[in-house]
Amino acid sequence: MRLAKYLAHAGVASRRAAEEIVRAGRVSIDGRRVTDPARAVGEDSDVRLDRRPVAGPEPRAVYVLNKPRGVVSTARDTHGRRTVVQLVRARHPDGLGPRLYPVGRLDADTTGLILLTNDGELAHALLHPSRGVERAYRARVAAAPVRERALRELRRGVELKDGATAPARVRRLAPDVLELVLHEGRKRQVRRMCEAVGHPVLELERVRFGPLTLGSLAEGESRRLAAGEVLDLRRTAGLGPAPP
């Protein structure tokens, strides 16, 4: 197994972040510093990060969480706020569970579906723009009712400071409620798009990521995905079945 992949599967970081960690000279194999992320790692290799042993890859796991408002989408928070990782671990029998990292982010005020995994390859594929994995959101907006002109602008794509967005699929569920389906994951994208067409977001919930929906999952609850669900998720991201 390549070193960057080994680190990602061990829960150290995503594959891309693991490559940067290796290039920075922070990793050694059998006592020798390594800077090539593609370096092969044997079953008996002594892999260390910043001189601390890195345990072998944990069993792959993917969890879905219904994130409440005020919870941050990080593994740790320097300001003492609750994190999505803490919520998942709190429901694990031993209070710990596998080392997990969120797949992308939802801002603190956004609720709904977020995935957490220790599979760096899957996380990277789900987030890569070229894979076009859909995310669906439900937004309650100001300045209702939302007129057809605003819907057309959202469907064409909206010009933002960081460039034009890709066209979105948009439905009006109520005079002040929209459902938006995006293939991109820019920072605060839904909020910025709606504000750009004159309807600032008051409440925002992500209701779907790829083939996964919240279903009956209550706010603050999480569950581990079944093998079939993980396979569907991998196929959506353009990946085959995970190796054993």
Q: What is the CATH number of the domain that holds 22?
A: 3.10.290.10
In a domain, 241, yes or no: no
Q: What DSSP string describes 162-221?
A: TEEPPP-EEEEEETTEEEEEES---TTHHHHHHHHTT--EEEEEEEEETTEE-TTPPTT-
Contact 73, 85 (CB under 8 A): no
Same domain flag for 119 and 218: yes
- Give me the number of domains the chain comprises: 3
Tens digits of per-residue pLDDT, 62-95?
A: 999 999 999 999 888 888 899 999 999 887 765 5
Tens digits of per-residue pLDDT, 210-235?
A: 999 999 999 999 999 999 999 999 99
Q: What is the CATH number of the domain that holds 111?
A: 3.30.70.580
Same domain flag for 112 and 222: yes
Catalytic residue IDs: 107
pTM for the model = 0.80
* Domain region containing 203: 134-209
Residues whose CB is less than 8 angstroms from the CB of residue 148 and which lie 6 or more positions away in sequence, other chains included: none
Chain mean pLDDT for the chain: 92
Q: What is the CATH number of the domain that holds 169?
A: 3.30.70.1560
Same domain flag for 77 and 167: no
